[in-house]
Structure 1
Amino acid sequence: MKKMLLSLAITAALAGCGGGETLEDVKNDTPPVIPSATVKFDPANGVISVPNDLLMSGTKDGTINIPGELSANGASVPRSAYANPSLALGALDGWSSQVPYKVDLTFPANVSLDESSAGAPGAVRIFEVVMGASLTDADCAAVPAGAGCKLLGELTFGVDFITKASGNAVAIIPLKPFKAGSSYINVLTTELKDSLGRSIQPSSTYGLVKQEAPLVTESQLALQGVVNSYENVLISGGTITKDEIIYSAAMTIQSVGPVLGTIKKLLAASLQNPALPKPQVQIPEQDMLTVAEVLLSDPDITNVSPAFNGVQYQRGSVTLAMYLSQPEGKEISKLADTYWQGMCSSPVAVLNQQAADQALRDAGKEDEIDPTMFGIGPYEQLCQGLSEGKLHDYPKIDITRHLTKYNPLPKMQSLQEVPVQITKPILPVINAIRTQTGMPALEMPAGGWPVVIMQHGITSKKEHMLALTASLAIQGFATVAIDHPVHGERGIDVDDDG
């Protein structure tokens, strides 16, 4: 009966069109429906724009999970594989602080992105947030990792970042570096339009998981929980509504301070603790030499400023801790397998192993637990002492030992005697030059000359910094410089050409 009534209703509706119109007439008069442009987002099928913290879900050690980083059986790839740029991100605990990025969109035929909307304020908004499992915010420490927790503020378009159309994508260009170790949520809004003036729509996946009603599968529920946590944090500030959001993605910026901060603490401790190696420059007795003489010893240099005759050149050495290991050969794989590594096991990896063991216990499979996984390694005492008891050395856990904010203690590979280049003003010559230019004469301060530490760039060497020493000597500065690892005198002769 219901089907009959429906059929009658449709017939009556068509008959009521008037003018003797047929069904074919109605079809011809109906404008074609053009599908909507959408944001590309389908994580289950690998469709995801980066940066995106979804790639840190299930991380084994607190680093990004890059596709291809794990072998077919789930084991980590060899350490040397991280020399491959496509996998290098997998060694980091976050994304770049300043590299531009984009969010991909998909368009139906004959439709494109409205470039003016893509470059206007409001189409893309970026919010600074605190994520779950925070190491610095007690309120968010107990919130699950990967979930949004607390809104801190919003970045300003035109001051902190700008956006522009980039083919079938909207590009986001930072004008200031994002804060290291901080988290942000990128948001695309209904202000982003297509060439027909219509708002870009969420992908079917995003539209599904942003709903409040619980979904069915475990993966759907997990993604729904994450997306809803993002949007709930965003709307808590009262400046945006859920209806305006067509896409949101969290990104945590790589931390760069913890590891270097740890090294600085170790260096500072070496000044008081004689058990720790103390870097101290040794300058042996040597003949007087000027920077002018050093520069002219290069056959490619035929003339230098007389000012370089007023700069004394000396050579010394300093014993430094090396965190790069020496390559065991000259093959690319051997040269690549020298990156810094942690002394201790990542606490993220330790927690994962503990959770896996507990799952076996809960399933009544205690006989499958490997008791040797928590065997103590040779750095246990140092790990415990230098981390206030937070870190351990379990050799079977966290084989790659990537350095992160969770695991900031680098492993010293060796002590290396490093050549040091030193320059100092030669007062009679320098004062003669200062007198000629109307400057008063200099005297060496009671505590010695103030020192400028010179650092060369990639592919360069410390000797290239000598070009700046005359100007600095005239102003009363000494300089010191060393070669960076695998540069200059510390280089590796890969092809044996000297």
Structure 2
Amino acid sequence: MTKKNLLAVIISASILAGCGDDVKVTGDETGNLEQYLTELSSRNTSIDFTLLGSNAWVPPPSALLMDTNDGTLKLPTSGDDALSNPLAAMNTADGWSLSMPIALRFKGTGFTAGTSITSGITILKLSGKLTDSTPPSVTGAISSFVATTTSDSIVITFTQPLDPSSDYIFALTDGILDKNGDPIGTSQSYAGLKTSNTTYTEGSLASAQKVVKGVEQYMAGASIDTKSIIYSSWFSTHSLGSSLFATKSGYGSAIGQSNDLTKVWKGNAIESSVDSTNPFVLSFGATADFDDALQADTNFSQYVGTTGTQTSLAGLYTGSNNNTVNVTKGTVKLPHFLSKGSDWNTAPFEAAGPSLAKLINALSSSADATAISASLVSAGVDPSPLSTLATATSAEQFAFMQSLVGVNITLADGSRLDTERVPTRFTPFAKIRSMETVNFLLFTPTTIPANMPIVIYQHGITSAKENAYYFADKLARGGIGVIAIDLPLHGERSLDAVRSANASALAYINLSNIPVARDNLQQSTFDLLGLRASISLAYSVRNNSFTGTPLAGAANPLVSTSAPRIYGHSLGGIVGSSTAAFSNHQTGDTSTDTALNSLFAITSSAIANSGGQIGNLLMGSASFGPLIKHNLGLNSNDEYKAYVSSQCNLTSTSTSKEQGACYTQMAADGTYDKLETTLEASFLQFTYAVQTVIDGIDPINMTGLIDDKPFYLSQVEGDLTVPNMVSTAPLAGTKPIADQMSISPVNSSNTTPSDNTKVYVQFSSAGHSTAIFPQVSGFADQNHHNEMIRQVTDFLSDNKLDSVSNSPSVLQ
């Protein structure tokens, strides 16, 4: 991490670079403004928007801060393009955040902090971009936001995420008053673009002026007096799950072509030394009784418990439970897109083909167009779609992007098109760096009932698949099969003892390189998609039967009504939600969807102690927030570094809890209030960067894709790891997931779900992992655990919750 003001984006490196050098003007070249603009730009409190000079500033989000060549953000990095720089990390995003606030800074008198603004702000959604050949239409006004003030800013906080890959415009008027009751005003730079006296006909200012004029024209159509507008902007939002959908489609296409990944990931899209044969094949090992398997499993004591716990847990299974549950170990071979070398925490995904956006832009040169066509022919790709590519349908463009996987395109000057290979919606397929043989655990009843449901379980951060031993026998005795794998960098998938999330959560929550943190989440989802497909493949290759495997008699996974379910806890719930969303995502093409559904469909999801808006969730976590803040402060603030050295007695072996306690200690000491204020301001900026980068895979933005299938969500009151809610971020935590899906809570006041296929259960105070096993001293949360597992078993058995018990007082 670097010491930077993340939002102080200087305009000189954006679309307006070199303003004045390429400007042509018609009309009044003296800069004289209309009287109303002279007055509007002379107010005591005015928007901070400056195009030139040392104080240049364009408030994000803005189309002026996007790269028109590849559709990513283009924030100035002062020459530091390493992805450890959060600004450079943000430049890998293909749009602005779907869920983070818009903070607009003002100069001058300012505001009374905490004042609500109920008028003077208009946000509209457009059907397309302002630069489209056919002007877009307004598709709706956005009202799902609240606006408040700080001493020098207006902050617009969304209560519903914006739509992905969409275009929005907004405007503020002088109906908003400052702390003295005076109307706010505009800046000289904005007035210079807004004026009708001067028109920039060429150059960067012409582009900026067209944006301002275009936005204000739409505002006029919405009955906003344009003379009252003091600032406006246009911005495009981040795509949602573009790589998840592309990878799912690629897996499906490969499986449909003799299970050959090279049919999709052609040429250099797979690392040359990698053996990609036989992916997605479940290999079953020996089966043992639950008790024997548990006591023989050294991974349990290494990753999730002690040998004493192991013995005690085995003791709970004995007696009447003996020989009722089998455990089978096995493997499945899955594509791996992350690096495992020395750059494991600095190398994000690499796109497997050139950017479609860059290709379309390159076609404007006839020489490059000819060279591109030749490159495609040489690679065996039909170049005929090039002529209509820019206006092709999304499906046609996606098909062409898939044909570009593994293709290098040479331009007329001999250079290669798109050497950066940053995965975006315009190049969503990632390069396969290795194939990983992933171990799994399978829990099944000794006697498998007809059409037994199969549940894919995903564990939480710093844990491992072996924590399924704590509860999976209960699901199995309830007639459910459970299969579990480790998350990347967890358990047996740790790269070594240090490069492991079991050693430190920060190995996975990679604060030093946000794109890698994002891709850890994406890889985790790819793995579950691959595991899900492997279940269908195991069934179909045996003539639509699991005969001869430990799953013999289980439900048909090829049919959506009997397809596998997902159970995710904590981080596993985040990954599980993303998997469920894109497992069931439809293309609209019947034949394609039928084929994909047979491989990937998820019937229902049960998610425990998880949430959305991951950036704010982490910062609001009592468990992880202090650890994250400590590490950010240690790497970005000399005063905090000195405090740590003198006050905290930390060593290289200090635990995550001890590191977090250092920050908590500082924050509680009034002597350091100024330092805390400085640090917390920088954390807000860092969180903005984090959420911008990961918004495309965040569950809070995927509720619309989950909502059409049965869904169970649970929380514990006052969860210290995944907060129920975050007071400063209305979209962060567990409850906002339910709110976005309009699910009423089940609690002590309401023990009957209004819809037993869409359930949100609020348990009273217990542990974050009580859903897995009792956590509280003396097993005080045993009753909570029993009801949690009973509910999960009930729901996953038939995709609905048939009963809820509050005895004895386990509900909030």
Task: Tell me if both proteins adopt one fold, taking TM over 0.5 as the criterion.
Answer: yes
What does 1:107-186 correspond to in 2, within 5 Å? 107=108, 111-115=109-113, 118-132=115-129, 141-143=132-134, 149-156=136-143, 160-186=144-170
Counterparts in 2 of 1:241 and 1:60: CA distance versus 1, 3 Å:
same
Counterparts in 2 of 1:465 and 1:64: CA distance versus 1, 3 Å:
farther
Does the 8 A contact of 2:339 with 2:347 survive in 1?
yes
For 1:229, the equivalent position in structure 2 comes to 214
Is residue 50 from structure 1 mapped to residue 60 from structure 2 by the alignment?
Answer: yes
Deviations 1:366-396 (A, max 9, x none): xxx9998888499945898995445453262
Letter in 2 for 1:226: V
Q: Which stretch of the first structure deviates more once superposed, 200-209 or 270-279?
A: 270-279
What does 1:193-232 correspond to in 2, within 5 Å? 193-216=177-200, 218-232=203-217
- From 247, 250, 260, the equivalent of 1:276 is 260
Does the 8 A contact of 2:43 with 2:183 survive in 1?
no
Counterparts in 2 of 1:422 and 1:255: CA distance versus 1, 3 Å:
same
Distance in structure 2 (CA, Å) of the matches to 1:224 and 1:254: 24
Letter in 1 for 2:247: I
Distance in structure 1 (CA, Å) of the matches to 2:435 and 2:498: 26
Letter in 2 for 1:151: V
What does 1:233-248 correspond to in 2, within 5 Å? 233-236=218-221, 238-248=222-232
Letter in 1 for 2:99: Q
Is residue 61 from structure 1 mapped to residue 61 from structure 2 by the alignment?
Answer: no
Distance in structure 1 (CA, Å) of the matches to 2:179 and 2:245: 50
- From 446, 449, 455, the equivalent of 2:450 is 446
Counterparts in 2 of 1:455 and 1:250: CA distance versus 1, 3 Å:
farther
Q: Secondary structure at the match of 1:251?
A: strand
Distance in structure 1 (CA, Å) of the matches to 2:290 and 2:423: 43
Counterparts in 2 of 1:194 and 1:255: CA distance versus 1, 3 Å:
same
Distance in structure 2 (CA, Å) of the matches to 1:284 and 1:379: 45
Deviations 1:59-114 (A, max 9, x none): 3322111212867xxxxx5xxx224323111111012222233111111xxx3314
Distance in structure 2 (CA, Å) of the matches to 1:132 and 1:266: 29
For 1:406, the equivalent position in structure 2 comes to 426
For 1:103, the equivalent position in structure 2 comes to 104
Counterparts in 2 of 1:495 and 1:264: CA distance versus 1, 3 Å:
closer
What does 1:387-398 correspond to in 2, within 5 Å? 387-389=398-400, 391=404, 393-394=408-409, 396-398=416-418
For 1:439, the equivalent position in structure 2 comes to none
Distance in structure 1 (CA, Å) of the matches to 2:349 and 2:95: 17
Counterparts in 2 of 1:219 and 1:460: CA distance versus 1, 3 Å:
same
For 2:458, the equivalent position in structure 1 comes to 455
Q: Secondary structure at the match of 1:113?
A: coil
Distance in structure 2 (CA, Å) of the matches to 1:482 and 1:496: 18
Letter in 2 for 1:42: T
Deviations 1:264-321 (A, max 9, x none): 2122223422052451221122433447545577326263383595543221111111
What does 1:363-402 correspond to in 2, within 5 Å? 376=375, 380-381=379-380, 387-389=398-400, 391=404, 393-394=408-409, 396-402=416-422
Letter in 1 for 2:282: V
Q: Secondary structure at the match of 1:287?
A: strand
Structure 2: stretches of 5+ with no match in the other structure: 1-41, 262-278, 384-395, 411-415, 504-812
Does the 8 A contact of 1:344 with 1:379 survive in 2?
no
Deviations 1:301-343 (A, max 9, x none): 263383595543221111111222332x2xxxx2344311221
- From 460, 464, 467, the equivalent of 1:464 is 467
Q: Secondary structure at the match of 1:187?
A: strand
Letter in 2 for 1:129: L
Counterparts in 2 of 1:206 and 1:379: CA distance versus 1, 3 Å:
farther
Structure 1: stretches of 5+ with no match in the other structure: 1-33, 72-76, 134-139, 362-368, 428-443
Distance in structure 2 (CA, Å) of the matches to 1:231 and 1:287: 70
Does the 8 A contact of 2:112 with 2:179 survive in 1?
yes
The alignment-based identity, stated in percent, is 23
Counterparts in 2 of 1:484 and 1:495: CA distance versus 1, 3 Å:
closer
Does the 8 A contact of 1:63 with 1:91 survive in 2?
yes
Q: Would you say how many aligned residue pairs link Structure 1 and Structure 2?
A: 406
Distance in structure 2 (CA, Å) of the matches to 1:323 and 1:286: 31
Distance in structure 1 (CA, Å) of the matches to 2:352 and 2:378: 7
For 2:357, the equivalent position in structure 1 comes to 348
Does the 8 A contact of 1:312 with 1:424 survive in 2?
yes
Deviations 1:343-371 (A, max 9, x none): 1111222244444x56xx8xxxxxxx999
Distance in structure 1 (CA, Å) of the matches to 2:197 and 2:308: 75
Distance in structure 1 (CA, Å) of the matches to 2:347 and 2:378: 19
Distance in structure 1 (CA, Å) of the matches to 2:195 and 2:244: 43
Distance in structure 2 (CA, Å) of the matches to 1:284 and 1:386: 43
Distance in structure 2 (CA, Å) of the matches to 1:300 and 1:379: 64
For 1:437, the equivalent position in structure 2 comes to none
Distance in structure 1 (CA, Å) of the matches to 2:290 and 2:357: 55
Distance in structure 2 (CA, Å) of the matches to 1:185 and 1:487: 43
Does the 8 A contact of 1:259 with 1:410 survive in 2?
yes
Letter in 2 for 1:91: T
Deviations 1:147-200 (A, max 9, x none): x732111111xxx22121123111121212211212222322223211121111
Counterparts in 2 of 1:274 and 1:226: CA distance versus 1, 3 Å:
same
Q: CA deviation at 1:399?
A: 1.3
Does the 8 A contact of 2:462 with 2:490 survive in 1?
yes
For 1:438, the equivalent position in structure 2 comes to none
Q: Secondary structure at the match of 2:103?
A: strand
For 2:663, the equivalent position in structure 1 comes to none
Does the 8 A contact of 2:288 with 2:326 survive in 1?
no
- From 329, 338, 347, the equivalent of 2:347 is 338
Is residue 486 from structure 1 mapped to residue 489 from structure 2 by the alignment?
Answer: yes
Deviations 1:436-455 (A, max 9, x none): xxxxxxxx4433x2122122
Deviations 1:13-53 (A, max 9, x none): xxxxxxxxxxxxxxxxxxxxx95210111244540222222
Distance in structure 2 (CA, Å) of the matches to 1:240 and 1:180: 26
Mark the structure with the bigger radius of gyration: 1
Distance in structure 1 (CA, Å) of the matches to 2:216 and 2:369: 41
Letter in 2 for 1:276: D
Counterparts in 2 of 1:425 and 1:120: CA distance versus 1, 3 Å:
farther
Counterparts in 2 of 1:352 and 1:104: CA distance versus 1, 3 Å:
same
Does the 8 A contact of 1:281 with 1:316 survive in 2?
yes
Distance in structure 2 (CA, Å) of the matches to 1:132 and 1:51: 15
Does the 8 A contact of 1:374 with 1:397 survive in 2?
no
- From 294, 297, 306, the equivalent of 1:298 is 306
Distance in structure 1 (CA, Å) of the matches to 2:397 and 2:284: 32
Q: CA deviation at 1:239?
A: 3.9
Does the 8 A contact of 1:114 with 1:197 survive in 2?
no
- From 242, 247, 252, the equivalent of 1:263 is 247
Q: Which stretch of the first structure deviates more once superposed, 471-480 or 179-188?
A: 471-480
Q: Secondary structure at the match of 2:288?
A: coil
Q: CA deviation at 1:495?
A: 4.5
> What is the RMSD computed on CA atoms of the aligned residues?
3.5
- From 24, 36, 49, the equivalent of 1:41 is 49
Larger helix percent: 2
